[in-house]
Amino acid sequence: MNISRRDFNKLVVSGIAGATLGIFGSTADAFAAKNRVVVIGGGFGGASAAKYLKKLDPSLSVTLVEPKAAYITCPFSNWVFAGLKTIGEITQTYAVLAARYGVDVVADTAVSIDAARSTVTLGSGKVLNYDRLIVSPGIDFKWGAIPGYSQSIAETKMPHAFQAGSQTELLNKQLHEMKNGGTVLICPPANPFRCPPGPYERASLIACYLKDQKPKSKIIILDPKDKFSKQALFRKGWDRLYPGMIEWRGAAAGGKVQSVDAAAMTVTTELDVVKGDVINVIPPQRAGKIAVDAGLADASGWCPINAVSFESTLHPGIHVLGDACIAGAMPKSGFAASSQGKLAAAAIVRLLRGKEPAQPSLVNTCYSLLGPGYGVSVAGVYKLSSEGIVEIPGSGGLTPIDASDDQLNQEALFARGWYNNIVNDIWG
Amino acid sequence: MPSKLKILLAVCLVSPGVFSASMDAFAAKKKTAKSAKVAEVDPRGQVLALSCASCHGTDGKSSGIIPSVYGKTPDYIEAALKDFKSGVRFSTVMGRHAKGYSDEEIHLIAQYFGTLWGKN
């Protein structure tokens, strides 16, 4: 069912009211000055929004606040474990956004947001004024959710590797130092979490490395869930490519992790104590700290938004994108964040001109690689209905379970093309 | 809150149309030169087409194995999308996407990309 015109207008009105507050809430020079949009976070959501704001309206003043000089993408970071990508090949910078698109890239941390005054305070003490603010902070981990696990354990013994970079390198180093015949434990969280197929692509590409270099080794996935993303496709691929190497223990098999012991290198589940030579713990998550601190998250730890423009339903004038927001049927993926970033940019350009945003349309496309010539994908096209963001019936879905070897190989090739184009569409 | 602002807010909340009209007039006065530079595109077509760029490249210019959409005619793009949607044309993933759009939306997407090359 399509959303009615009346319902759509109701959603838009909150956006227009936000625009009004944004303009009249700031000083009298708002009319004279360029409209100012501040973007917090230079990942898939924030960088997409910053680029497309300038592309769609070069007259805007767009400031991107991102403390890191370079962004290492989580998508394709699992490829590092199979030796198919280097960290350098998945590192993006902000040089093109600044030079070609005129985005003011500020290498600083946003430490607080004052929604009433429409200001952002940076680590340096500098205060930025905005007419519209975009918050795209990604995830933070719920440290303390798993007894025995902590940030310092993650940084030394049991990496999560769900924010790419030094964590990816630590896990990769541990895999390279592991003996032939070792056991790798992967412990994914319950839903919702960043990149739902990520832990299972990781198992596949670690197996790809182990089969070649350390074939007596084994991977055990200890999972609190009864099912997982692309499950049938992964299990079929594992049987074909890595028979006997990957064991998945779901909730029914006592896979839920109760605690970990970094000194003993063990994981305690509901049924037993499992010893690992390499242990990858992916803890439960919530919206990035700045979003939680600014009161943009609800009791779930994630941020409710109005899907017309991804404007917060808690603080008008602030838009929340990507993994941090609650986007209905859309998964927490880099692609989804970029789709949301572009939609929000188009909506903000219209809102700042006092016009209604267009009715939203959103997309997700995620490739997972099981081996160098074996790719699978999930696609989704989304619209706004009276129930929020829903997938359009009859569209999207998975690679067919009976896909030919040729199709699987094509998907692996398209995965590479996907990466090149999406990172260029965002940072290039 | 000053009473004038309250009234203005109330007007805006009741009738976004009034606000839009006044803002349009304001924008026309202040930003004539800049507004003229921004292409007059169908906002719905633009939102639909922005999704395509993630796989097909910004403005539909692909740098790798995925085909470019840029430089193709509106008729070509519309026919291709309809063939992917019906399954007449084989694809790995494109058919799954095309099924998410009505014929009217496919037309808007084709118009957006098919006329980009003339504007740039």
Question: Across the interface, which of A358, A397, A413 has its CB nearest the CB of B46?
Answer: A358
Closest A-chain CA to B22: A354
Residue B30: CB atoms within 10 A of its CB come to 12
How close is the nearest chain A Cα to the Cα of B41, in Å?
Answer: 10
Q: Which residues contact A426 (CB under 8 A, 6 or more apart)?
A: A44, A47, A48, A51, A92, A338, A341
> d(Cα A163, Cα A171) in Å, to the nearest integer?
12
Mutate to test the interface with A, among B93, B106, B109 (most CBs of A within 10 A): B93
**β-sheet bridge partners, residue A36:** A61
Mutate to test the interface with B, among A97, A361, A402 (most CBs of B within 10 A): A361
> d(Cα A128, Cα A73) in Å, to the nearest integer?
27
Query: Given an 8 Å threshold on Cβ–Cβ distance, is B24 in contact with A31?
Result: no
Q: Which residues contact A93 (CB under 8 A, 6 or more apart)?
A: A69, A70, A71, A427
Residue A254: CB atoms within 10 A of its CB come to 14
- Give the amino acid at A333: S
Tokens 């490739």 belong to A367
Residue-wise pLDDT tens digits, B82-92: 999 999 999 99
How close is the nearest chain B Cα to the Cα of A355, in Å?
Answer: 5
How close is the nearest chain A Cα to the Cα of B75, in Å?
Answer: 22
Distances (CA, A) of A136 to A65, A406, B16: 10, 38, 28
Side-chain-facing half-sphere of A158: CA atoms under 13 Å? 28
Residue-wise pLDDT tens digits, A106-128: 999 999 999 999 999 999 999 99
Tokens 């394709």 belong to A76
Q: What is the mean pLDDT of residues A176-188?
A: 98
* Interface ipTM: 0.91
> d(Cα A332, Cα A355) in Å, to the nearest integer?
29
Percent of chain A with pLDDT over 70: 92
Nearest alpha-carbon partner for A201 in A258, A261, A282:
A282
Residue-wise pLDDT tens digits, B2-57: 444 444 444 334 343 333 333 343 344 344 444 444 446 899 999 999 999 999 99
- Chain A residues in contact with B20 by the CB 8 A cut-off are 16, 354-356
Closest A-chain CA to B36: A57
Query: Given an 8 Å threshold on Cβ–Cβ distance, is B8 in contact with A394?
Result: no
Closest B-chain CA to A10: B13
- Chain B residues in contact with A363 by the CB 8 A cut-off are 51, 54, 97, 100
Q: What is the pLDDT of residue A23?
A: 43
Query: Given an 8 Å threshold on Cβ–Cβ distance, is B24 in contact with A355?
Result: yes
Q: What is the mean pLDDT of residues A151-170?
A: 98
Nearest alpha-carbon partner for A204 in A189, A181, A180, A186:
A186
How close is the nearest chain A Cα to the Cα of B8, in Å?
Answer: 9
How close is the nearest chain B Cα to the Cα of A221, in Å?
Answer: 29
Most confident of A8-12, A256-260, B37-41: A256-260
Band of pLDDT at residue B118, cut at 50, 70 and 90? confident
Query: Given an 8 Å threshold on Cβ–Cβ distance, is B63 in contact with A355?
Result: no
Q: Which residues contact B102 (CB under 8 A, 6 or more apart)?
A: none
Closest B-chain CA to A390: B100
- Chain A residues in contact with B8 by the CB 8 A cut-off are 20, 24
Band of pLDDT at residue A22, cut at 50, 70 and 90? very low
Query: Given an 8 Å threshold on Cβ–Cβ distance, is A16 in contact with B54?
Result: no
Percent of chain A with pLDDT over 90: 92
Q: What is the pLDDT of residue A1?
A: 43
Q: What is the pLDDT of residue B41?
A: 84
How close is the nearest chain A Cα to the Cα of B80, in Å?
Answer: 17
How close is the nearest chain B Cα to the Cα of A385, in Å?
Answer: 14
Query: Given an 8 Å threshold on Cβ–Cβ distance, is B96 in contact with A422?
Result: no
Q: What is the mean pLDDT of residues B54-81?
A: 97
This prediction has a pTM of: 0.89
pLDDT of residue A392 exceeding 50: yes
Residue-wise pLDDT tens digits, A295-326: 999 999 999 999 999 999 999 999 999 999 99
Nearest alpha-carbon partner for A30 in A1, A4, A61:
A61
Closest A-chain CA to B53: A425
Q: What is the pLDDT of residue B15?
A: 40
Asked if residue B60 lies in contact with residue B68, where contact means CB atoms within 8 angstroms, the answer is yes
Q: What is the pLDDT of residue A3?
A: 52
Query: Given an 8 Å threshold on Cβ–Cβ distance, is A417 in contact with B64?
Result: yes
